[in-house]
Amino acid sequence: MSDKKKKRGTEDLPLLQKIVALCKRRGFVFPSSEIYGGLRSAYDYGPLGVELKRNVMAEWWRSTVHEREDVVGIDASIIMSPRVWEASGHVGGFSDPLVDCKTCKARFRADKAPAVAPGTEVTYRSQGKTIKGIATRGYVCPECGSIDLSEERAFNLMFKTHYGPIESDDAIVYLRPETAQAMFVNFLNVQQTYRLRLPFGIAQQGKSFRNEITVEHFIFRSCEFEQMEMEFFCEPETSDTWLEYWRTERLNWYINLGCREENLRTRPHEKDELAHYSKACYDIEYRYPWGWDELEGVANRTDYDLGRHQAASGKKLAYFDPQKINPETGKPGLRFLPHVIEPAAGATRAVLMFLLDAYDEEPPSEGRKDGRVVLRLDPRLAPIKVAVLPLVKKDTELTGKARDIVKTFWSSSINAFYDEKDAIGRRYARQDEAGTPFCLTVDGQTKTDDTVTIRYRDDMRQERIKVAEAVEIVKEKVTASRRS
């Protein structure tokens, strides 16, 4: 994780507050179990949120798996043998340093607390008194600034449960904390059944679970989240080149989907930041309201994981290259463990990023007395692609025509939405907030010449198009890539 800035809550972050409010108001994201007071850091995706998340994940799958010859997908079990997590190092080492503040009772991660150089004099309040002291730890409590802190304790982030009816130690299993390990344990299954030659990748999307101590910033960090990960297996001597390749590919993926370039950067990890399995790593970072922070990691995992699983399972996981010369025999045919480059993205974190990046407020202007909130999502990500709006609700000829138009979109697999409620201006405003790129208005003229008004979300321009051409026009605009 990238920085030690204080970043809790949404109080001092007006843009994040607006996004949280918009998500609730329009049905992108709700607090989970809200009627029972919610569950800390758990969220439910509403009618628009589920579409946005699915679109983000579908775009990733399309560009990572479908449109490449060298990557295939899997969908593995969330609960795997506990031996997987012993071998991967997660049982022993996937932990955060947990500290309790003795002054305000906050519980926090030492590595995320505000840094204060040892020896610095700090002031904080305890039981109504102002206390001065010398910082010794290198950090202070993120809530109250106190230096009266418990020892650090290693807290394992994996959720535990029991498999089967007996709650014994032998039955302990874990909810996966990353999707990656299934690609390693299935490496030979996939390689052999699909007859793949290096270099090639195995991709997976799905839920991961981490019992995070610090949950922060809405869906940025939650205990249950979705990942989009790919393990790219390559010859060891090519791994540095592939790391650079995937760093560029992944950065461009976000830009191509409309994220503003100036809000993205890649940052190489310092040696002391690298995960235990990693030789080199870049974070793709986004400029969130609280500063630059991680969006995705692109790591060189070397042969660490295959090596660990081979040793722990006793099963050979080496790849056989019939062309390569074996240095020991001088003959063709070499077995070796490939190295791995891993672009590991968070789908739910990407949803937050795309919402933040697309959010815009337009003030009232000449000729338009109301300002508006608009989500300038790329049409490929927009939950609803087109809203079809009969101008007059009571005119059944208009509503009938509008409903017929919606059906023509559905039969072309385009998510169209029918809305007849409220004045047309309010309906446009709702769709602007939902990020819908196009609205089609069905009015009196439609009855005579079979045309409708198309209104463009971004500049509110309106023009007349033929009903018969509407699907093609919208389809073309939705699929056209921003960059092409």
Q: Which is nearer to ligand GAP, 90 or 457 (CB)?
A: 90
Q: Which is nearer to ligand GAP, 58 or 467 (CB)?
A: 58
Location of structure tokens 């999502």: 377
Answer for which of 199, 258, 297, 390 binds ligand GAP (CB under 6 A) is 297
The interface region with ligand GAP, picked from 87-95, 266-274, 290-298, 429-437 by CB under 6 A, is 290-298
Q: Is 432 in the site for ligand GAP (CB under 6 A)?
A: no
Q: Is 206 in the site for ligand GAP (CB under 6 A)?
A: no
**Residues 298 and 251 sit within 8 Å (Cβ to Cβ):** no
Of 181, 180, 187, which Cα lies nearest the Cα of 337? Answer: 187
CA distance 21 to 13: 12
**Residues 32 and 26 sit within 8 Å (Cβ to Cβ):** no
Q: Which is nearer to ligand GAP, 299 or 434 (CB)?
A: 299
Please give, one letter per residue, the 3-state secondary structure of 360-388: EEECCECCECCCEEEECCCCCCCCCCEEE
Q: Are strands 386-390 and 438-442 parallel, antiparallel or unpaired?
A: parallel
Q: Is 199 in the site for ligand GAP (CB under 6 A)?
A: no
CA distance 148 to 124: 10
- CA distances, 439 to each of 75, 191, 324, 399, 452 (Å): 37, 47, 59, 15, 10
Answer for which of 59, 285, 293, 294 binds ligand GAP (CB under 6 A) is 294
- Residue count at the site for ligand GAP (CB under 6 A)? 19
CA distance 133 to 127: 15
Within 435-454, the residues that bind ligand GAP by CB under 6 A are: none
- Residue 344 CB, shortest distance to ligand GAP, in Å, is 4
Q: Is 178 in the site for ligand GAP (CB under 6 A)?
A: yes
3-state helix, strand, coil in the chain (%, to 5): 35, 30, 35
- Residue 110 CB, shortest distance to ligand GAP, in Å, is 17
Q: Is 349 in the site for ligand GAP (CB under 6 A)?
A: yes
Q: Using CB atoms, what's the residue nearest to ligand GAP?
A: 346
Query: Hey, what amino acid is at 346?
Result: G
Answer for which of 348, 441, 451, 453 binds ligand GAP (CB under 6 A) is 348
Two structure tokens written together for 241? 């080149």
- CA distances, 205 to each of 29, 325, 346, 404 (Å): 20, 37, 9, 36
Q: Is 96 in the site for ligand GAP (CB under 6 A)?
A: no
Name the helix (H) or strand (E) containing 317. Answer: none
> Quick one: CA torsion of 151, 156, 162, 166, rounded to 10 degrees?
-40
- Residue 295 CB, shortest distance to ligand GAP, in Å, is 6
The interface region with ligand GAP, picked from 148-156, 160-168, 341-349, 383-391 by CB under 6 A, is 341-349
Q: Is 56 in the site for ligand GAP (CB under 6 A)?
A: no
Q: Is 293 in the site for ligand GAP (CB under 6 A)?
A: no
Query: Hey, what amino acid is at 241?
Result: T
User: Mutual orientation of helices 467-479 and 396-410 as an angle, nearest 10°?
Assistant: 40
Q: Is 339 in the site for ligand GAP (CB under 6 A)?
A: no
Q: Is 296 in the site for ligand GAP (CB under 6 A)?
A: yes
- Residue 209 CB, shortest distance to ligand GAP, in Å, is 9
Q: Which string of x and - marks every residue 209-248 that binds ligand GAP (by CB under 6 A)?
A: -x-x--------xx--x-x-x-------------------
CA distance 409 to 96: 49
- Residue 35 CB, shortest distance to ligand GAP, in Å, is 24
Q: Is 346 in the site for ligand GAP (CB under 6 A)?
A: yes
Q: Which is nearer to ligand GAP, 247 or 349 (CB)?
A: 349
Answer for which of 140, 147, 180, 203 binds ligand GAP (CB under 6 A) is 180
User: Which spans of this chain sit near ligand GAP (rule: CB under 6 A)?
Assistant: 178, 180, 210, 212, 221-222, 225, 227, 229, 294-297, 342, 344-346, 348-349
